[in-house]
Amino acid sequence: MIFNRSWYNRAGVERVMGFSTPAEQEDFLREVPLFEEMLVGSGIRLVKVWLDVSKAEQAQRLDERKDDPLKVLKSSPLDEFAQPRWGDYSAARDEMLRRTDTAQAPWVCVKADHKKTARLNIIRHLIKALADADLAQTVEPPDPQVLFPFEIAALSDGRLCP
């Protein structure tokens, strides 16, 4: 099972945009580690991937969505709030990562400004984490400058975008 930012919207978008109450957000953040522990305890292999994009790259991608017919369907009315609320989104991300990263269900973070590099490293990580050992040993490990296990220090040492 692969979880990414979308499953954690209660702790991110909903928090920043006021789509859920502080009590609902707190319930979610308290219960997520318990739920994930239950999944892992039942034998499900859980991989959590945080794709980290810089503010400048996000601005460029949002801009491209406006005019590119292949990307226009990705746009949302919420896009106009993304850049002005960057700090709020970053604070929500930081709390979500701190509170939902556990030994049983750790996050891996991916510097994702360069899509191809990010994707190749994610594929390597997934093969190493989930594939048969014979296959996994034939694949290079992910570049630790691109994909790395989350740790609290990453919030302040420049590995994650502010």
∠ at Cα 64 (63, 69), nearest 5°? Answer: 130
Whether 41 maps to a domain, the answer reads yes
Give the domain CATH number at 92: 3.40.50.300
Strand partners, 138: none
Task: Report strand pairing: 107-111 vs 147-149.
Answer: antiparallel
The tokens for 44 are 């499900």
Whether 160 maps to a domain, the answer reads no
Rg (CA), the chain: 17
pTM (2 decimals)? Answer: 0.92
pLDDT tens, position by position, for the chain (162 residues)? 887 778 899 999 999 999 999 999 999 999 999 999 999 999 999 999 999 999 999 999 999 988 888 888 888 888 888 899 999 999 999 999 999 999 999 999 999 999 999 999 999 999 999 999 999 999 999 999 999 999 999 999 999 999
Domain that holds residue 137: 2-155
Give the span between the Cα atoms of 107 and 122, in whole angstroms. 12
Q: How many domains does the chain have?
A: 1
